[in-house]
Amino acid sequence: MTPKEKDERLDRMEQHQRILKEKVEDIDKKVSKICDAVVGNKDMGSVGMAERIVDVEKEQDAIKADIKKIEESRIEDRVYLKIIRWLGAIITAMVLAFIIKEYILVK
């Protein structure tokens, strides 16, 4: 191998090494961005997707608890409405019985 061929080969190897280094740096930047998106970056004050998922799960639990309270309240309201209906029916029956007794049966 001539010295010129050796130099050309060395140049090609150096060029290949530079390209690989650039690709590795590019991949490193992309992985860093992905990591910041998933985990978040405390230095920059950004919240990652993982933390957002935890927040959404907490909100979901709170909403489920609120729904359960509303359902329990709705059941109580139904019971109260039934009691009010029964009382209304009893009062109506008493008024009708009084009217019948005092005005109709007296004659």
Q: What is the pTM of this model?
A: 0.54
Q: Examine the pLDDT at 104 and tell me if it is beyond 90.
A: no
The H or E element containing residue 45 is: none
46: left (phi over 0), alpha (psi -120 to 50) or beta: beta
Over residues 23-64, the pLDDT tens digits come to 999 999 999 888 888 888 777 777 788 888 999 999 999 999
Count CA atoms within 13 Å of residue 64 on its CB side. Answer: 6
Over residues 65-103, the pLDDT tens digits come to 999 999 999 988 899 999 999 999 999 999 999 998 888
Q: What is the predicted pLDDT for the residue at 107?
A: 60
CB 46 within 8 A of CB 36: yes
d(CA 25, CA 19): 10
